[in-house]
Amino acid sequence: MNATLFVPDISCGHCKMSIEKAVNSLDGIEKVEVHIEPRTVDVAWDDAVVDMDAIIAAIEEQGYEVPAN
């Protein structure tokens, strides 16, 4: 599975680092890449191991809201 999440509060390299680290710490993540400019998170995951809710929760735990798309 993969998705692009819009995270409007992404603003700098620190945001990129903390979100990528938090998402990567979950099992089952195949790829995560934060783009500072369009403020998006590209993520790919193994559906059998982790789901979108857990990924969103990991981002929100870092202090970033993920509005429903």
Task: Point out which residues bind Cu ion (CB under 5 A).
Answer: 11-12, 14-15
Which residue carries 């938090």 as its tokens?
A: 22
Angle CA(30)–CA(32)–CA(38) in degrees, nearest 5? 150
Residue 45: CB atoms within 10 Å: 22
The least distance separating Cu ion from the CB of residue 51, rounded to whole angstroms, comes to: 26
Nearer to Cu ion, 19 or 50 (CB): 19
What does the alpha-carbon distance between residue 40 and residue 33 come to, in Å, rounded to a whole number? 8
The least distance separating Cu ion from the CB of residue 2, rounded to whole angstroms, comes to: 24
Nearer to Cu ion, 7 or 56 (CB): 7
Nearer to Cu ion, 10 or 50 (CB): 10
